[in-house]
Chain A
């Protein structure tokens, strides 16, 4: 693979056991390629371990294990969990913050690809993980910015979102009905159900999750008797979840399904009039599809309803062209980190304004009145304010109002207001 390439889109799936990287390097094709764990290897699972050499270079995966062996050192593990929680890594007498860890690890991932391709330029990049909490997402944006990526070319999405992107890119028969995904790793067993509502307005793709981590432990699968018990448990879960629903496809991901030969009874049930696929790379392929913004698929008509996506439309009442109107600041179904907006307005004889929050499916709305702070005395229409909306996760938003003064006539006072709104408490 020693050739110069332009990587149009790259996806990185960060899981605590394995990291996976996939790229699109062909403008004429939407097909993504998995990046192997090492040269000459077809396996694309990169162990999520880290080794920092005495010279200060960061190594991941098999390379980290080899270097650690040569140097007589040890690899650091559990690093993705540290990044997700915003904790710290204590390694070889040094302390690394979640941001430093993210920066070094992502750089090592990109260097891994560069090592295999020799010379690359990467246009767009998307990181996916089991969840995308604020600290993880903020650190990812900051780290990738430091590594030279423009903000508009970065995305950070949850596994639920990656699942949607992947499914929508498949042929229609795969998702004509509901789609099930079971992800079984050393850290979790998660059951996802993707439902498409084509007849609603707007059209909605919904993903619901159920966590069965307490019921299934990957360590026990090496014992055939335990594996048999798990097969029975899984069979009962399937009967319960699949009752009164029609599934066209089932995806099975993670080591739990791919590295062990089970579950026989459950597989027989799953294969009954359904497509069943096993593999490791669903999330990373979903990520690379999400990164490729030029990819126009049917998914663009749908509103995504899943963890990591906003639940409501947010607007404010304004005057424009001498008409009162609801100006939408944020649409439901947007990735929460990308869902912010900023608008500048001039106050005309008011001391409060109204934020309108609408459920896009039921169309119920809640009006929240925000009382403006007392600005220094100025004539009417001589105060310009900046109203900024940002989300801190998929259900909590912050609205900030800043006084911008009015040009050279009235300087900004520094007065501002911050209002937190929890959407889940409104409906």
Chain B
């Protein structure tokens, strides 16, 4: 349901969230933080200090006191997340349910696994720029001595996939190289070859031949595969529908046509703005 949501009080006094080094000043900002950082929220996030802030600074005694009781009883953090997200009109019932489902899926995972899961969700929703940031942040943490090579290889592979989604084939190649360094497998090898060919960078193609023993015949087969894939994509219904918006329909006047095209472009711009922010 879209519209203007009546905002609750915004205080001049902040509440400091140490997990992310950020200050919030209203319940909506707290809700926004929790919803977008579910993987970071655990029992330790909900403190008596937070409950006190909600009661005395944000003037929300009903919510604050319920949270206080839950903290004292040692209730699961998932219930406290649901309580906070459900208060007011900022998140809809459906959005809160999505967050609850997310928590059920990732609730028992380690922080690194939760971050990867967040990145994977973003990729599934075609939010490649945000996914890239998540994977890179995760890899910088794993750099500090992770012994799980399989996990690291998967993250590098997924980052490579993200770069490919952004048509940054050379960057994708280097990510697949990092994955191969952790653990080389046939799928990684395939992706190395495809990314090198798509990049049209002779150095990368030479690297994949020399470093990974991919023959010229193999490269020709990959080229055929790429051609077939491109032909297939061109006739996919989703792609055809997108292009149909740009076709002038029978008996359609130009004003209506331009309005329709502008709406599609505006949608793309909005998606891009959301992505880069």
Contacts and interface: CB of A to CB of B under 8 A. Distances in A.
Given A344-B10, A384-B28, A407-B23, A349 B2 contact: yes
- Most A CB contacts (10 A, CB to CB) among B2, B6, B273 go to B6
A58 interface: no
Interface string B7-29: 10010000000000011111011
In terms of DSSP, what is the predominant structure of the interface of chain B?
Answer: mixed
A350 B3 contact: yes
A377 interface: yes
Given A343-B6, A346-B7, A380-B274, 17 more contacts: A318-B4, A319-B4, A319-B89, A320-B5, A320-B6, A321-B89, A322-B93, A345-B6, A348-B4, A350-B2, A353-B3, A377-B276, A406-B29, A407-B25, A408-B22, A409-B33, A410-B277
B28 A353 contact: no
Closest 4 CB pairs of A and B: A377-B273, A349-B2, A345-B4, A407-B29
A196 B34 CA distance: 56
A52 B276 CA distance: 66
Contact of A318 (B6, B22, B90, B270): B6
A378 B277 CA distance: 6
Contact of A384 (B1, B7, B33, B277): B7
A381 interface: yes
Interface of A: 316-322, 324, 327, 343-350, 353, 376-382, 384, 404, 406-410
B32 interface: yes
A316 B93 CA distance: 24
B28 A346 contact: yes
B92 interface: yes
Contacts of A378: 273-274, 277
Interface residues of B, number: 28
Contacts of A346: 4-5, 7, 28, 90
A351 to B, nearest CB: 10
A353 B277 CA distance: 24
Contact of A381 (B25, B90, B270): B90
Interface in B56-106: 88-90, 92-93
Given A319-B1, A320-B89, A350-B3, A381 B276 contact: no
A344 B90 contact: no
B109 to A, nearest CB: 24
Nearest to B276: A377
Given A406-B29, A408-B23, A318 B3 contact: yes
A417 to B, nearest CB: 14
Contact of A406 (B32, B270, B276): B32
Interface of B: 1-7, 10, 22-26, 28-29, 32-33, 88-90, 92-93, 270, 272-274, 276-277
Contacts of A327: 6
A348 B7 CA distance: 11
Contacts of B26: 384, 407
A184 to B, nearest CB: 51
Given A377-B277, A384-B10, A319 B32 contact: no
A404 B224 CA distance: 54
A347 B276 contact: no
A327 B132 CA distance: 42
Contact of B3 (A317, A343, A406): A317
10 contacts: A316-B4, A318-B5, A318-B6, A322-B89, A322-B93, A346-B28, A348-B1, A380-B274, A406-B29, A409-B32
Nearest to B28: A346
Contacts of B3: 317-319, 324, 348, 350, 353
Contacts of B6: 318-320, 327, 343, 345
A379 B23 contact: no
A379 B272 CA distance: 10
Contacts of B5: 318-320, 345-348, 381
Contacts of B276: 377
A347 B32 contact: no
Contact of A407 (B24, B92, B277): B24
A100 to B, nearest CB: 35
Given A316-B4, A348-B3, A379 B277 contact: yes
